Amino acid sequence: MKFMMLMIPAVYHGNKKLENFAPKLAELEKMGKFNEEMGKVFKITDLNGLRPLTDGARLYFNKGKATVTDGPFVETKEVLGGYWMIEGATKEELLKWAKRCPALDGDTIEIRQIFEFPEEPTR
C-alpha cells in the first residue's frame, strides 16, 4: 500500500504569522537519521521539507472562481512542513514507525493512504 505521511509543525498552529521559519540544524540532523532508518524498513519514494509559507500561495474556490492569496499574507491554522511518500504493508506498521519520529512538542503527523484508481479492464 502507498501512504503519504505529512508533518504539520507546531510552530504554525494557531494562525501565527511567521517570517521565514526554518528548523534548526540539529533538528534536521535528527530527522535525517530517522529518515535513513525508516528507509531501511519501508520503500520511501519521496520525502522533503517544504519552504516557508511566506514563499507559497493558496487558492480558494467559490462559485467556480479561484482567488489566490500569496505569501506572506496567507493565514491558516495548520501548514505542512514536509512530507514522506512511503510504501508499506499496513497503516499500523507505519504508525509504529511514525511514533519514533523526532518531532518537537506540539508537532502533528498525519498518515493518509494514497487512493489508487482501479485499473480499467483491458479489451
Q: For 98-119, what is each residue's pLDDT tens digit?
A: 999 999 999 999 999 999 888 7
* 11 DSSP assignment: G
pLDDT band at 56 (very low <50, low <70, confident <90, very high): confident
Q: Which one-letter amino acid corresponds to residue 103?
A: A
Give the residue with greater pLDDT, 72 vs 45. Answer: 45
Express as a percent the part of the chain with pLDDT over 90.
59
Cβ atoms within 10 Å of 14's Cβ, excluding its own: 9
Nearest to 12 by CA among 75, 100, 99, 101: 75
| 32's grid cell | 535525517
Give the C-alpha separation, 84 to 8, whole Å.
12
| Domain 24-113 of CATH type 3.30.70.1060 | yes
Q: For 26-35, what is each residue's pLDDT tens digit?
A: 999 999 999 9
Give the C-alpha separation, 44 to 113, whole Å.
14
